[in-house]
Structure 1
Amino acid sequence: MKKKKYIFVFLLIILLLGSCNILRHKDLNKDNLSAKDRYEFNYSFMEAEKQKMLGNFNDAAVLYEKCKKLDPLSAAVYYEISTLLIQKEQYNEAIKNARMAVKLNPQNTWYKAILAVLYKQINKPNEAISVYKKLLKENPQRVDFMYELAIIYNYVKKYDDALKVYEIIEDNCGVSETVSLEKERIYMVKGEKGKAYNEIQKLINSDPAQIRYYGMLAESYVSEGNFDKANEIYQQMLKVDGNNGLVHLSLSDFYRLTKEYDKSFNELKIAFASNDVDIDVKIKMLITFLKFSNESAELKEQSYNLLKVLLNTYPDDTKVHALYADFLIKDNKVEQAREQLRIVTKNEKSKYIIWEQLLLIESTLADFNAMFTESLEALDYFPNQPVLNYFHGLSAYQLKKYDDAEKTLKLGVDLVADNPNLKAEMYSILADTYNKLGKMKESDNAMEQVLIIDNGNKIILNNYSYYLSLRGDSLDKAERMSLICVELEPENSTFLDTYAWVLYKQNKLDKALEAIEKAYNNGGKNNAVIVEHYGDILFKLGQTERANELWNEAVKLGKGSEFLNKKIIQKTLIE
């Protein structure tokens, strides 16, 4: 039994009825008191009432005890002490006082009622039953006592006794959902399914427009596998309220159980188009549906159909557009997903995860103009989210807005708390940004920060080496870092080119030639910079004719260095 609920509900009823004063004054045993004691008793009792109303229960308890000493035969005092002990959850002591109140005034209904509730509280159902039976003998029309008695009979599994009490309630009050469902539950426990179903049918007969009762009965038939009978009830539901989306949702579940999948899906579409079914229920169902959408073309098509129904039903609901975007992303339709996410961010600015998802798509599409604009707007709402600084810094760098990139990335790295990979990425872009701004020392420091976080970062090791080689600075360090990259990926043409160029700058031409040939033969022949470097190394080794051929190849491939055309025209090495 749910214990505390009974106690406090009962106390609330007493307070609402306002019966206490009537009862108390009637039960005060003042005739045996002297005038002085009577005055002291009345004053203390009223003051105790006042303190109790103010919530000063300890003060009230002291005053009630004083009253008890003045008049140990006052039932009202024992009753009030009992209620205070209930507040302290001292139930055994509360029972002692409640018993005394009943003993002193056996006719008082409230004293017996609180005693019954206390017996339930300490799990003495038989004692509670005895008290409730006495209460009902004295108050045969009290339906609340009938309910309490039936509940306890249920608890001790005296189901037939509980049913008798519920029948009396029904005779007094008519058919009610509470009683019928309790009777239905008891009949199911007893294995009397026919009687159980009759109880729900009684509810239907008492309120034929209440569609919920039909659903209960249909589900009962489904649970025992009687699909024909269940189908009859579902068809009745359609006749009663065919426009109710909940009816169609129930039918969809039913047809799925009977393996009538086309019917099930059609009913589901009707339910999704109805406002009777809560949108959150639909979204939860659709999320489950979408998990399996890639298992077959039919499921995927059905997913799209349901999503479109939701969009038509809730065109302004951002949750639906966000869900549609998730599905489109899963289906690799990122541009369409982007449009859905833009609808969300236009109408709902406060959902950070949507901004991040949108910016990830812009990154996938390499739409740096959109990324720049959207990340800037997102930062207005979430200025302390470093991921937004990352996207804004990345897009600014790609758009050659190096001052913007520097500013936002410097802010971003300071915001990162527990994401070392993100911090390393931001320092990496910051290093390239500083390099573009000619801030070589700051660029080197940024790359050192990356290597502190990830000392095996191949991209940084390669770029750092290359930047140093271009400046002719710290070439031994550049060679060590570049060699790490080559050893990790010996066929990577970019890493081989950097290594060759560092060796070239150190005038280690034979080793440089060996490295650049590997770069050229591993895809570098399609890269203008690598081909030009190959030509430079050969020229310095005295193979001028072959060098000129390679420079001409580089021109055809695309953009080489600013000196490439001059090298071809003048047929000489220019650095």
Structure 2
Amino acid sequence: MRYKRLKYSLRSSACIYYYGVAFCLLSFVSTPQSPVLAQTSASPKSTGSLDSTEIRQLFFSALREKTVENLKHASELFERVIQADPRNDASLYELANLKKIQNDYANAQPLLERAVAVKPNNEWYWSALADSYEKSNNIGKLENVFNQLIRINPNKPEYYFDKANALVILKRYDDALAVYDQLEQIAGPSDDILGSRQKVYLKQGKIDKAAADIEKAIAENPGQIRYYLLLSEIYNSNGLTDKAVKVLLQAEKLDAGNGQVHLALADIYRDKKSNDASFKELTQAFAIPDISIDQKIRILTGYYPKFPDPNAKASALELSRILSITHSKDSKAFAIYGDMLLTNDKLKEAKEAYKTSIALDGQIYAVQEQLLRIELSQNDLDGAIKDGENTLSLFPNQAWANYLVGVAYAQKKDFNKALGYVKNATSLELQDKELLSLSFSLLGDCYHDLKNNKSSDEAYDKALANNPDNAYTLNNYAYYLSLRNEQLDKAAQMSARSTQLQPNTSSFEDTYAWILFMQKKYSDAKLWMEKALAHDKENSGVKYEHYGDILFYLGKTDDAVDNWKKAKGYGDKSPILDRKINEKKYVE
């Protein structure tokens, strides 16, 4: 017969936990199988001054203390029982468990050894002792424990596996193989036995025996693709890649729609640097619905470390496209397709993929945030507001969503609405320094446009407190101070810092030049304005006007007028620009 075995390390923690819970429950419902009543019903002779009734009462008092987690008192009571009755196996067992809870395996072991000596047929006691030996790495004593457990319950496969595992750790490989043979005679062949046996063969370096065992399974079950996969894995992991490919190609002929075969081939071809062949196998695997979408997504995310290599990006994009077709009803497929489109700078297509993902499942916040970011980058302010407010109806406490909607409103010049959303962002997020700096900076911009200079300055100060190197905040704050002709030294320091953080940024250099001009440092101002003009790709009329202003104060009136005329030609609509040109002098 076949059976399915739970995964475990050396001992099955599930079994031990089950025994522990079962014991506690059985103790209180007083079933005949309970080790507590098995001991007390036997009316053992006590060696202390307590009679059997008093011992029984003391035992149940200890159990009650254990139940309310008063472990110290419970331990003391169990110890009193053992002092009065050294052969009280239930108390030995319970006290040992309490010590195990405290990771005191050294003192738990002798208690359990005494318990099994009193009741050698108690499966729970032996299981607890096995666990204790394993946790304290006392592997040498495990063989006898599992022998006892097999004697008590010979039809439980886990005990055979546990015994074999202990023997493997002790490098007694042939003895471990003998245990698997014994189990196979009792329970019949199984994949668990087959797989475990292969691991032993491979530890012995007997690749031929491992392969022969699986080849026998293939001969007996030629249609079972899992055996081909197992055989190919053995060959591939031991450097026999050609044999591994041959086995997988045989499997492919039997079942071309088996995705695991294609994935295994893709792995081998990748290791052989046959990238085209590997990618071909992946595309076939991704088109097979039976392979879980989560496994495919794990493969896709494996491409991330290879970015920004264009070939890796293109391959990941194509696989994600296939994924969206194969799993067309799963929002995750379109979410990662959107991610790959975004990575390949296909913003329009990414936007549609994210919208499809949201339509399939609107409960994934990260996808909605990505959509908002794309809409803002495309200056789709109405779309960002609509989708952002819908996002916030589902996720009102998401600080980034509040900030992004605030950005959209600010760009639409609706500063009062922007303030509401951005204030929400600052109240919802207290740890994300980046978001806090951006949010307070945006508050500063909004307050400035609303002519609330005091609140604007306070917001900028908070932005810089969260991120002293926020270049845009440094630039804006400095520029607005200079427009008011206030705190020019502070403005100059902030502006200079922004040019260090983002050198060759024309707008930052223009701000710094303007502040130097306000400080009457005209030579320095000229130097920085010339940098700004050199890095200006848009031929800003305002910059040429500023340059003319500087030149005028350096006594170069004709050059100043020429630059004022250039400013007008480039679209500068300053109301005093014509006066500067006509009067050939600086006008405030």
Q: Same fold (TM over 0.5)?
A: yes
2:449 maps to 1:461: no
Superposed counterparts of 1:139-538, under 5 Å: 150-205=164-219, 207-292=221-306, 294-295=308-309, 297=311, 299-413=312-426, 417-418=430-431, 422-423=435-436, 425-443=438-456, 446=459, 454=468, 457-468=474-485, 477-478=487-488, 481=491, 485=495, 494-495=510-511, 498-499=514-515, 502=518, 526-529=539-542
2:93 maps to 1:83: yes
Q: Give the distance between the partners of 1:434 and 1:31, measured in 2 at CA.
A: 86
Q: Give the distance between the partners of 2:340 and 2:17, measured in 1 at CA.
A: 50
Q: What is the aligned partner in structure 2 of residue 95 from structure 1?
A: 113
Q: Residue type matched to 1:191 in 2?
A: G
SS in 2 for 1:175: coil
Give the Å deviation of 1:402: 2.8
Q: Give the distance between the partners of 2:411 and 2:390, measured in 1 at CA.
A: 18
Query: Alpha carbons of 1:383 and 1:175: their partners in 2 closer, same or farther (altered >3 Å)?
Result: closer
Q: Residue type matched to 1:158 in 2?
A: R
Q: What is the aligned partner in structure 2 of residue 37 from structure 1?
A: none
Instruction: Tell me if structure 2 keeps the 8 A contact 1:482–1:495.
Output: no
SS in 1 for 2:302: helix
Instruction: Tell me if structure 2 keeps the 8 A contact 1:119–1:127.
Output: no
Q: Give the distance between the partners of 1:528 and 1:246, measured in 2 at CA.
A: 64
Q: Give the distance between the partners of 2:530 and 2:176, measured in 1 at CA.
A: 91
SS in 2 for 1:20: coil
Give the Å deviation of 1:241: 3.2
Instruction: Tell me if structure 1 keeps the 8 A contact 2:11–2:162.
Output: no
Q: Give the distance between the partners of 2:152 and 2:572, measured in 1 at CA.
A: 105
Q: Give the distance between the partners of 2:380 and 2:325, measured in 1 at CA.
A: 30
Instruction: Tell me if structure 2 keeps the 8 A contact 1:431–1:444.
Output: yes
Give the Å deviation of 1:51: 8.3
Q: Residue type matched to 1:317 in 2?
A: D
SS in 1 for 2:303: helix
Query: Alpha carbons of 1:350 and 1:467: their partners in 2 closer, same or farther (altered >3 Å)?
Result: farther
User: 5+ unaligned residues in a row in structure 1: which ranges?
Assistant: 34-39, 103-107, 469-473
Instruction: Tell me if structure 1 keeps the 8 A contact 2:407–2:418.
Output: yes
Instruction: Tell me if structure 2 keeps the 8 A contact 1:159–1:186.
Output: yes
Q: Residue type matched to 1:338 in 2?
A: K
Q: Give the distance between the partners of 2:574 and 2:52, measured in 1 at CA.
A: 108
Q: Give the distance between the partners of 2:433 and 2:155, measured in 1 at CA.
A: 74
Instruction: Tell me if structure 2 keeps the 8 A contact 1:82–1:98.
Output: no
Q: Residue type matched to 1:175 in 2?
A: P
Q: Give the distance between the partners of 2:464 and 2:545, measured in 1 at CA.
A: 30
Query: Alpha carbons of 1:151 and 1:28: their partners in 2 closer, same or farther (altered >3 Å)?
Result: farther
Q: What is the aligned partner in structure 1 of residue 105 from structure 2?
A: none
Alpha-carbon displacement from aligned partner over 1:132-159 (angstroms, at most 9, x marks no partner): 6688789988877665654554444333
User: 5+ unaligned residues in a row in structure 2: which ranges?
Assistant: 1-8, 101-107
> Whose helix proportion is higher, 1 or 2?
1
Give the Å deviation of 1:574: 9.0
Q: Give the distance between the partners of 1:534 and 1:498, measured in 2 at CA.
A: 9
Q: Give the distance between the partners of 1:195 and 1:325, measured in 2 at CA.
A: 48
Query: Alpha carbons of 1:86 and 1:406: their partners in 2 closer, same or farther (altered >3 Å)?
Result: closer
Q: Give the distance between the partners of 1:176 and 1:16, measured in 2 at CA.
A: 34
SS in 1 for 2:478: helix
Query: Alpha carbons of 1:509 and 1:420: their partners in 2 closer, same or farther (altered >3 Å)?
Result: closer
Give the Å deviation of 1:314: 1.9
Q: Residue type matched to 2:93 in 1?
A: T
Query: Alpha carbons of 1:100 and 1:369: their partners in 2 closer, same or farther (altered >3 Å)?
Result: closer
Q: Give the distance between the partners of 1:111 and 1:532, measured in 2 at CA.
A: 91
Instruction: Tell me if structure 2 keeps the 8 A contact 1:321–1:344.
Output: yes
Instruction: Tell me if structure 1 keeps the 8 A contact 2:16–2:128.
Output: no
Instruction: Tell me if structure 2 keeps the 8 A contact 1:325–1:338.
Output: yes
Q: Give the distance between the partners of 1:483 and 1:23, measured in 2 at CA.
A: 80
Q: Which moved more, 1:409-418 or 1:530-539?
A: 530-539
Q: Give the distance between the partners of 2:78 and 2:512, measured in 1 at CA.
A: 94
Kindly report the root-mean-square deviation, in angstroms, between the aligned alpha carbons of the 2 structures: 5.5
SS in 2 for 1:191: coil
Calculate percent identity across the aligned residue pairs: 26
Q: Residue type matched to 1:282 in 2?
A: K
Q: Give the distance between the partners of 2:476 and 2:522, measured in 1 at CA.
A: 25
Equivalent residue pairs, number: 548
Query: Alpha carbons of 1:361 and 1:67: their partners in 2 closer, same or farther (altered >3 Å)?
Result: closer
Q: Residue type matched to 1:167 in 2?
A: D
Q: TM-score, normalised by structure 2?
A: 0.70
Q: Give the distance between the partners of 1:407 and 1:272, measured in 2 at CA.
A: 46
Q: Give the distance between the partners of 2:279 and 2:407, measured in 1 at CA.
A: 46
